[in-house]
């Protein structure tokens, strides 16, 4: 019954390549747009050199939040690809959940600039964590939908690996929401956690190491 005429209304038939290419474009644009929120300081007066140096020094938090957001978006890019790599097809639900995830991610330049301008303000620090939590939660739900609700995963994938990936994904928004709540104690605690959390991504998981050991025999 799969007649070509049905394709008009069946976006779900398409492979994942289209969503991936679109998302890749969005990721690339976000990391490149981040710098636009850093404005050249406008200094005047007698000693321009000293004033410029002072202004640039005062912009330290802006440079650091730029790097932080850059790293976070790059990590999402890798995680996004790892997810779509094991999907055998996409459907309309996945398309919209992916759009929801991109909605939060594309918003990141704003809280980045806000926290860069007001690094000591609780509302700015919590705003940043809110967006990373929402992005993380959307991603976790997209993974859950793909793995268990719509069953879009390649059947050859080991179920235990899916469970472990699911767990790791779920942990991310939980930790980010803890980080943002710590701002009620001290905003510096939140910022410290925002910086530490992405770093954990670079530690290869035990499972990953195990798999790699098995395969390569090392």
Restricted to residues 155-184, the positions that interact with its own copies (CB under 8 A) are: 156-158, 161-162, 165
3-state per-residue secondary structure call for 23-59: HHHHHHHHHHHHHHHCCCCCCCCCCHHHHHHHHHHHC
Count of other CB atoms within 10 angstroms of residue 20: 18
Closest to its own copies by CB, 134 or 179:
134
Question: What are the residues whose beta carbons fall under 8 Å from the beta carbon of 63, sequence distance 6 or more?
Answer: 38, 116
Question: Are residues 70 and 34 in contact, defined by beta-carbon separation less than 8 angstroms?
Answer: yes
For residues 93 to 132, the per-residue mask of contacts with its own copies, x marking binding by CB under 8 A and - elsewhere, is: --xx--x--xx--xxxxx--xx--xx--xxxx--x-----
Q: Which helix (H) or strand (E) holds 64?
A: helix 60-85
| Separation CA 20–CA 92 (nearest Å) | 14
Contact region for its own copies (CB under 8 A) — 30-38, 132-140, 170-178, 189-197? 30-38
CB of 200 to its own copies, least distance (A): 14
Site for its own copies contains 28 (CB under 8 A):
yes
Cβ neighbours, 10 Å, residue 159: 10
Minimum separation from the CB atom of position 211 to its own copies (A): 6
Q: What is the DSSP letter of 197?
A: H
205 contacts its own copies (rule: CB under 8 A): yes
> Is the CB of 37 or the CB of 189 nearer to its own copies?
37
- Do residues 147 and 153 make contact, with C-beta atoms less than 8 angstroms apart? yes
Does 218 sit near its own copies (CB under 8 A)?
A: no
CB of 82 to its own copies, least distance (A): 6
Residues numbered 75 to 94 that lie near its own copies (CB under 8 A) are: 77-78, 81-82, 85-86
- Our finding on whether 40 is near its own copies (CB under 8 A) is yes
Closest CB to its own copies among 157 and 193?
157
């Amino acid at each position: 019954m799969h007649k070509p005429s049905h394709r008009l209304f069946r976006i779900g038939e398409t492979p994942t390549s289209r969503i991936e290419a679109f998302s890749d474009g969005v990721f690339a644009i976000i990391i490149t747009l981040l710098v636009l929120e850093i404005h050249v300081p406008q200094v005047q007066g007698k000693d321009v050199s000293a004033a410029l140096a002072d202004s640039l020094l005062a912009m330290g938090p802006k440079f650091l939040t730029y790097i932080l957001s850059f790293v976070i978006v790059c990590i999402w890019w890798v995680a996004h690809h790892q997810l779509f790599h094991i999907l055998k097809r996409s459907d309309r639900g996945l398309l919209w959940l992916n759009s929801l995830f991109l909605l939060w991610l594309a918003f990141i330049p704003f809280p980045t600039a806000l926290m860069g301008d007001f690094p000591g303000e609780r509302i700015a620090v919590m705003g940043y964590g809110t967006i990373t939590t929402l992005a993380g939660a959307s991603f976790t739900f997209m993974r859950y939908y793909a793995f268990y609700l719509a069953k879009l995963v390649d059947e050859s994938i080991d179920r235990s690996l899916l469970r472990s990936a699911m767990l790791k994904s779920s942990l991310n928004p939980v930790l980010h929401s803890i980080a943002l709540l710590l701002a009620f104690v001290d905003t510096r605690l939140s910022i410290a956690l925002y910086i530490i959390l992405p770093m954990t991504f670079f530690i290869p998981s035990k499972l990953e190491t195990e798999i790699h050991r098995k395969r390569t025999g090392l």
